[in-house]
C-alpha cells in the first residue's frame, strides 16, 4: 500500500501529515514509526490521525504511536492533548475499555524454581482469575460498596485488606483518579460491574508468567533499580481493564454526546465515531466524572487480580507471598484522559491528554514519580504477544515532545477475523507447549486471534520508542505460562 503522498519524514522516527492533508485539520498529525512500521500501517491510521487533528482545542499535534492501528474513531496508539478551556473530550480518544492497562509484578523466584510448578501455577491462576466474555468474579459486592470502589479505586482495596500501601504508590496516580462521581454512571453500568471485580476478560487480556534472562537485561543499572536483580528472575505481567462497566459508560456517553454535539454545541466531526462534547460543558464534565469511575474500577480490578496472584503463589509454594517477593513493579493505564501539566514552548500548561492504547512515559526527574523511580524515569510496560515476549522500559525526557507518552503493545497487523482464518488455536497451543510456554484458555478461537503472527514485531516497536527518545528498553521478558480469555 503506497504511503500518502503528503507524508513528510521529519526525523528517522517521526512522520508528519501536514494540515493540507485533509480539510479541517487544525494541527498536523505525527506518526512515530520506523520505515518498516510506517510502510506496514493501514491507510485508516493516517485518516484517523488526521480526523483527530480536526478536533476543537487540539494542541501541538495529533499523534499516533509506533504500535498504532485502526480503532474506533481514534487510532489505537492515538494521542491528543486538548486545551481544557476551548477543547473537547471524546470517548473515542479513550476507548471502550476505559483504563485498560498493564501491571508488572516481581517475584524473587528463578525460572529453575518455577518451571517444575509451572503447570500447577497456571492451572491455579486459571481457576482463581475468571477469564472470558461475561465472566463473573469470585467477589460480588453490593451496589453501595461498588460505588465506593468506583470513586476510590485501589484505595478501597487497601481499606479492605486486598492491597498494601506500596501497591498504591507503584500505580499510576496512586490507583485513583480523584473526582470520580458514581452519580454520573448509569444503573445499567453499575449492574454490569457488580460481579466483575477480579476478572480478566477476553480478547488480548491475559496474565502471564515471564522470565528475565540475563542476556535480555539491556540496562543493568535501571533493571536493578526496578527490582530485576537475580538471573532468570520470574515476573508476572497482566493486562485488563474496566470490563463491561467501562464499556457501558463509554456506550452511554457516546449516545449522549451524539445527541447534543451538533444541535447544542455546533460541533461537527468527520466521523461519527469521534463524538465529543466541550470539556467544560455539563455533558463533558459528566463523562469525565463517569470515566474516572471506570478508571478506578479498572485499578481496583487489577489490584484484586494481584491479590489472587499472591494467594495462588502462596498456595503452590507454601510460603507467604511477600517472602516470595510478590511486589509491584508498576501499573500503567493505557486508555484514559486526564488533566496533566506539560511544557508548551517552555511554559507550563494544563492539558486534557487523551491516550488511547498509549502509555504515560514520564522521564527522569518527574516530580509525579515515586521517589524510587525518579532517577530512572517511569517504568513503562509494553506487552507483546504470548509468542514473542514483552518489554519493560523506562520513560525518557524526549517524551516531552509527545506529552510524556509512548507505545503500549505490539499492535495488530491483521484483523481478528483474518487471524482466525490464518491460525489455529489448538495447533498454536501445542507449538507453544513444545517451546516451554504453557497456556490455559477457554477460547481456542480467541487464542488464534492473539497469535504472534497477527501482531507487529515487538522488538521493532520497542526499539523505535527508544530511538524516538520516548522510552528506553530495560529488559525483554519472555513468556513461560499464560492464562487468557
Partner DNA sequence: ATGTGC
Q: Catalytic positions, please? A: 408
* Rounded least distance, CB 396 to DNA, Å: 27
Q: How far is the CB of 397 from DNA (least distance, A)?
A: 31
Which cell numbers in the block locate residue 305? 487480580
Considering only residues 422-481, where is the footprint of DNA by CB under 7 A? 443
C-alpha 136/C-alpha 287 separation (Å) is: 26
- Residue 66 found at the interface with DNA (CB under 7 A): no
Cβ pair 238, 484 in contact under 8 A: no
- Contact window for DNA (CB under 7 A) among 150-158, 198-206, 307-315, 360-368: 198-206
Does position 134 bind DNA by CB under 7 A?
A: yes
- Among 97, 173, 457, 466, indicate the residue that binds DNA (CB under 7 A): 97
485 lines the binding site for DNA (CB under 7 A): yes
8 A C-beta contact, residue 470 and residue 32 = yes
Q: What is the largest CA-CA distance in the chain?
A: 64
- Grid cell locating 7: 507524508
CA distance 94 to 247: 11
CB nearer to DNA: pick between 148 and 247: 247
For residue 135, the minimal CB distance to DNA (Å) is: 8
Report the C-alpha gap between 306 and 48 in whole angstroms: 36
When binding is defined by CB under 7 A, the residue of 92, 153, 198, 244 that contacts DNA is 244
Q: Which of 243, 302, 354, 356 binds DNA (CB under 7 A)?
A: 243
Taking contact as CB under 7 A, which single stretch among the options 55-63, 237-245, 258-266, 282-290 is the one that binds DNA?
Answer: 237-245
Residue 91 CB, shortest distance to DNA, in Å, is 11
Q: Which is nearer to DNA, 122 or 294 (CB)?
A: 294
Q: Does 302 bind DNA (CB under 7 A)?
A: no
238 near DNA, judged by CB under 7 A: no
Q: Does 213 bind DNA (CB under 7 A)?
A: no
Question: What are the DSSP calls for 374-418, one per residue?
Answer: TTT--EEEEB--TTT-EEEEEE-GGGGGGTSEE--B--BSS-HHH
Check residue 202 for interaction with DNA (CB under 7 A). Answer: yes
204 marked as binding residue:
yes
Q: Do 166 and 328 touch, CB atoms closer than 8 A?
A: yes
Q: Which of 23, 86, 41, 32 is nearest to 61 (CA)?
A: 32
CB 337 within 8 A of CB 330: no
Compute the distance between CA of residue 108 and CA of residue 277 in angstroms, rounded to an integer.
Answer: 48
> Does 386 show up as a binding residue in the annotation?
yes
Annotated binding residue 97? yes
d(CA 286, CA 251): 14
Which residue from 484, 309, 308, 470 is spatially nearest to 385, judged by alpha carbons? 484
Q: Give the footprint of DNA on this chain (CB under 7 A).
A: 72, 96-97, 100, 133-134, 188, 191-192, 196, 201-205, 240-241, 243-244, 247-248, 443, 485
Q: Which residues are annotated as a binding site for Mn(2+)?
A: 97, 205, 239, 334
Residue positions forming the annotated binding site for GMP: 204-208, 334-335, 383-386, 390, 408-411, 484
Amino acid at each position: 500500500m503506497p504511503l500518502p503522498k503528503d507524508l513528510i519524514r521529519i526525523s528517522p522516527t517521526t512522520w508528519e501529515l501536514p494540515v493540507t492533508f485533509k480539510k479541517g485539520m487544525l494541527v498536523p498529525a505525527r506518526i512515530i514509526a520506523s520505515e518498516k512500521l510506517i510502510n506496514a500501517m493501514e491507510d485508516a491510521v493516517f485518516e484517523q490521525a488526521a480526523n483527530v487533528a480536526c478536533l476543537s482545542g487540539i494542541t501541538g499535534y495529533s499523534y499516533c504511536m509506533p504500535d498504532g492501528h485502526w480503532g474506533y474513531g481514534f487510532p489505537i496508539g492515538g494521542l491528543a492533548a486538548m486545551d481544557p478551556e476551548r477543547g473537547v473530550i471524546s470517548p473515542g480518544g479513550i476507548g471502550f475499555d476505559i483504563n485498560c492497562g498493564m501491571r508488572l509484578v516481581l517475584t524473587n523466584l528463578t525460572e529453575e524454581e518455577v518451571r517444575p510448578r509451572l503447570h500447577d501455577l497456571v492451572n491455579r491462576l486459571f481457576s482463581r482469575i475468571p477469564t472470558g466474555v461475561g465472566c463473573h468474579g469470585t467477589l460480588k459486592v453490593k451496589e453501595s460498596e461498588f460505588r465506593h470502589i468506583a470513586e476510590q479505586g485501589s484505595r478501597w482495596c487497601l481499606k479492605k485488606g486486598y492491597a498494601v500501601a506500596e501497591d498504591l504508590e507503584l500505580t499510576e496516580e496512586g490507583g485513583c483518579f480523584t473526582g470520580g462521581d458514581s452519580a454520573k454512571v448509569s444503573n445499567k453500568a453499575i449492574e454490569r460491574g457488580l460481579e466483575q471485580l477480579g476478572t480478566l476478560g477476553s480478547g488480548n487480556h491475559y496474565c502471564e508468567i515471564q522470565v528475565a534472562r540475563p542476556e535480555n537485561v539491556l540496562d543493568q543499572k535501571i533493571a536493578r533499580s526496578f527490582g530485576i536483580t537475580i538471573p532468570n528472575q520470574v515476573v508476572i505481567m497482566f493486562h485488563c481493564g474496566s470490563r463491561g462497566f467501562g464499556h457501558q459508560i463509554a456506550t452511554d456517553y457516546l449516545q449522549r454526546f451524539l445527541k447534543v454535539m451538533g444541535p447544542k454545541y455546533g460541533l461537527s466531526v468527520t466521523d461519527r465515531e469521534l463524538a465529543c462534547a466541550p470539556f467544560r460543558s455539563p455533558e463533558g464534565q459528566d463523562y469525565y466524572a463517569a470515566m474516572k469511575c471506570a478508571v478506578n474500577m479498572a485499578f481496583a480490578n487489577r489490584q484484586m487480580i494481584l491479590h489472587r496472584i499472591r494467594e495462588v503463589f502462596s498456595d503452590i509454594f507454601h510460603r507467604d507471598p511477600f517472602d516470595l517477593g510478590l511486589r509491584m513493579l508498576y501499573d500503567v493505564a493505557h486508555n484514559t484522559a486526564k488533566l496533566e501539566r506539560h511544557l508548551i514552548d517552555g511554559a507550563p500548561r494544563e492539558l486534557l491528554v487523551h491516550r488511547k492504547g498509549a502509555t504515560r512515559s514520564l522521564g527522569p526527574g518527574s516530580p509525579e514519580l515515586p521517589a524510587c523511580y525518579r532517577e530512572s524515569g517511569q517504568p513503562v510496560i509494553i506487552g507483546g504477544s504470548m509468542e514473542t515476549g514483552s518489554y519493560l522500559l523506562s520513560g525518557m525526557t524526549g517524551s516531552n515532545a509527545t506529552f510524556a507518552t509512548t507505545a503500549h503493545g505490539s499492535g495488530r497487523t491483521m484483523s481478528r477475523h483474518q487471524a482466525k482464518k490464518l491460525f489455529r488455536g489448538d495447533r498454536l497451543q501445542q507449538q507453544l507447549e513444545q517451546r516451554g510456554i504453557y497456556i490455559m484458555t477457554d477460547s481456542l478461537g480467541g487464542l488464534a486471534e492473539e497469535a504472534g503472527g497477527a501482531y507487529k514485531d515487538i522488538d521493532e516497536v520497542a526499539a523505535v520508542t527508544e530511538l524516538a527518545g520516548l522510552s528506553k528498553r530495560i529488559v525483554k521478558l519472555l513468556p513461560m505460562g499464560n492464562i487468557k480469555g
